[in-house]
Structure 1
Amino acid sequence: MAEKKLKTLLVFKYIDEFSDEAHPLSTSQIIEMLANEGIKCERKSIYADVKTLKEIGYDIVSIKSPINGGFFMASRKFEIPEVRLLIDAVTSAGFITPKKTQSLVEKLESLVSKNQANSIVTQVYIDSSTKCDNEEIYYIIDALHKAIQDRKKVKFIYKRRNIDVENKKNYTEKTFTVSPYALIWKDDHYYLICNNQKYNNIMNLRVDRIRKVNTLDESARPVGEVSEYKNSFDVADYSKKMFNMYSGKSDKIRIACELELREQIMDRFGAKVPLSAYDSSHFETTVDVAVSDGLIAWLMSFGKKVRVLEPQYLADAVKERAQQIAKLYE
């Protein structure tokens, strides 16, 4: 009986791993695979196993053909485009080390057949030069996540690269004690949104630069004490307002943009962002954002195609930045 149950499980394993619509697995192939495991069986027992697997919900298709007959898994929890999307996300994520990237990609490959996985992997490229080297990253993310759930402060070391004359790779380490509120993946980096206990505001720290996380018994500060979010931290709203993950005071800004920028503005602020005519060649919009150096850099990236209408202090800041840049080239 034990061998019979094992055989059924192995039949499922073989069909799940090695078959797809383009590569059905024949009865002879399954019998040969079972024989390699020391299990001998007849063809009709394979049909019985497949019938049992179908009865409990697996979408296995039988092809009756003397040339390319057999069985294949017709549907899976993840389709090929979905797995490809996940693999692309993992390979492009800078906070995942090359070693962990490879491990995650291999796990994602197991969601489809081996033939399908091979077709995906041939298109995958991992650029190790853009990846972090923090092999503690999983532990750090887990520890921070638990601290956020338990509303506890955390203490850790924050590591930054130094700039020196000889261009040697050395780092400065600084100890932070913070109240953590959220983890955000933005601009291909993972950030911890938190409050440094020395100040009354929110800051963003790169998770890949965090080391040696220690969760404290001390309760985290309520987010309403250090931000505009009085009851709970609104991750989506905060992420939408941030530019290059620079924190700043939230304010409404009104900008005039050339007509060709409507897609870029909707990509940044969402399809529901208000767009109204300003003149024959420009539209205007009003959005609520965090005013910061990141916002100024983003506005200036469009050159003369975007102009700040309100508030005046932001228009003056952009003008001053432009003048400073112009002086560098005089």
Structure 2
Amino acid sequence: MIHSSAKIKLLLLWKLLKEYSDDEHPVSAVELCRLLEQEGIETERKSIYRDIDVLTHFGVDIVYTRSPRQGFFIAKRDFELAEVRLLMDAVLTAPFITNKKTAELTDKLCGLISCHQAEAVLKQIYVDQRVKFENEEIYYNIDTINRAIAQHKKLSFSYHHRVIVNHKAQLDDGREFIISPYTLLWANDKYYLAGNYEKYDTVSNYRLDRMKKIALTSQEARPFYEVCEYRDHFDTADYLRKTFNMFNGEHEFVVLRCSNSLLETIIDKFGSEIEFSCHDSNAFTVRASVCVSDGLIEWLMQYGDRIMVLSPQTLRDEMLMRIEAVHDVYGTTKKTCVPQKF
């Protein structure tokens, strides 16, 4: 049986190797002795080798190397450097994660790699200053929403929008909602709750940064199959694919003629399994099932003359109205505008 002080020594040794060692910064037995002494553990160099054998037998991937210098390092971690960098970038990019929480999460992620790697990464990621929301309730809200979904209970919350008061933007007084929650969505760099507002037979989306005073109710949630096409489970991936800018609408098949320059954009949005056909050497036609909404129209408008709606006719007519309205705003002559360049 290992004495308690020996157990503490083993745990500290493991912690120190994770914190100070990597393949470019191996730590010698002498350095490990010094680091342990700083933690109040007296030890000898020879005992370090025995302890490392114990940790290796336990499954810790500790490697001894002579290059770039003699010493030990942990070769395999739960998260590799590239994975930690990806997670850090995601945290930095997400505007719904406040500045305070961004700093806390980044610090925790740094603990997954060596101090040397963390120092190098931090010098890079703090160059970019991003816009962040200020709602600190969002983290508690996520926990409450997860519990509500798991327990099939309704949620109550106040939902806020920004208004201009005295030449400054601030949150309004909010509106009270009771929602049957179905899934959490990360889309367009924002976090959403998809659920059913009890007054309607549809699925609506709510931004988490606008939600306050969330509470789990005792009311049973309305089954999602009563308000959408899904039956066995709420298909989050399919829902996101058919929704544009988180607007909902009626599901319809749309046919679009697209410039070849938009092939990657179309595949990114709809996937590679949808129906494609070549129109000519400069364009292709695509058919997809989507929610026809203001969000879809706004998405189409951004591509100008590189996308033309072929069907349905109602969507073509709405696009023409929007195009003419833009012409009016800029003082141009009002006329029928159909994209022609492909």
Query: What is the aligned partner in structure 2 of residue 44 from structure 1?
Result: 46
Give 4+ residue runs of structure 1 displaced > 3 Å after superposition.
126-129
CA positional deviation for 1:134: 1.1
CA change 1:260–1:117 in 2 (3 A) is same
Distance of 1:205 and 1:128 partners within structure 2: 26
Distance of 1:64 and 1:301 partners within structure 2: 57
CA change 1:199–1:143 in 2 (3 A) is same
Distance of 1:129 and 1:34 partners within structure 2: 40
Deviation sequence 1:110-148 (CA, Å, 0-9, x none): 111110111111111386662111111111001011101
Is contact 1:98–1:128 with CA below 8 Å preserved after alignment?
A: no
Query: What is the aligned partner in structure 1 of residue 63 from structure 2?
Result: 61
1:217 equivalent to 2:223? Answer no
CA change 1:44–1:197 in 2 (3 A) is same
CA positional deviation for 1:81: 0.8
Is contact 2:95–2:130 with CA below 8 Å preserved after alignment?
A: no
Which has the larger displacement, 317-326 or 155-164? 155-164
Query: What is the aligned partner in structure 1 of residue 184 from structure 2?
Result: 183
Paired AA for residue 220 in structure 1: A
CA positional deviation for 1:232: 2.9
Deviation sequence 1:241-269 (CA, Å, 0-9, x none): 11111111111100111122111111211
Q: Is the partner of 1:41 in helix, strand or coil?
A: coil
CA positional deviation for 1:230: 3.6
CA positional deviation for 1:168: 4.9
Q: Which runs of 5+ in 1 are unaligned?
A: none
Paired AA for residue 183 in structure 1: L
Paired AA for residue 117 in structure 1: A
Work out which of the residue numbers 29, 47, 64 in structure 2 matches 1:27: 29
Query: What is the aligned partner in structure 2 of residue 89 from structure 1?
Result: 90
Is contact 1:83–1:111 with CA below 8 Å preserved after alignment?
A: yes
Query: What is the aligned partner in structure 2 of residue 270 from structure 1?
Result: 271
Is contact 2:93–2:130 with CA below 8 Å preserved after alignment?
A: no
Distance of 1:69 and 1:247 partners within structure 2: 61
Is contact 2:252–2:292 with CA below 8 Å preserved after alignment?
A: yes
Distance of 2:322 and 2:37 partners within structure 1: 74
TM-score by length of 2: 0.92
CA change 1:224–1:90 in 2 (3 A) is same
CA positional deviation for 1:170: 4.4
Q: Is the partner of 1:275 in helix, strand or coil?
A: strand
Paired AA for residue 216 in structure 2: T
Is contact 1:97–1:134 with CA below 8 Å preserved after alignment?
A: yes
Is contact 2:251–2:292 with CA below 8 Å preserved after alignment?
A: yes
CA positional deviation for 1:317: 0.7
Distance of 1:279 and 1:64 partners within structure 2: 62
CA positional deviation for 1:276: 0.9
Work out which of the residue numbers 13, 16, 29 in structure 2 matches 1:14: 16
Distance of 1:2 and 1:59 partners within structure 2: 24
Query: What is the aligned partner in structure 2 of residue 136 from structure 1?
Result: 137
Is contact 1:91–1:126 with CA below 8 Å preserved after alignment?
A: no
Paired AA for residue 37 in structure 1: E
Query: What is the aligned partner in structure 1 of residue 117 from structure 2?
Result: 116
Q: Is the partner of 2:181 in helix, strand or coil?
A: strand
CA positional deviation for 1:323: 0.7
RMSD over aligned Cα, in angstroms?
A: 1.6
Deviation sequence 1:185-228 (CA, Å, 0-9, x none): 00110000011112121111101111111111111111122222
Is contact 1:162–1:172 with CA below 8 Å preserved after alignment?
A: no
Paired AA for residue 33 in structure 1: L
Q: Which runs of 5+ in 2 are unaligned?
A: 332-342
Instruction: Report sequence identity in percent.
Output: 43
Distance of 1:170 and 1:78 partners within structure 2: 39
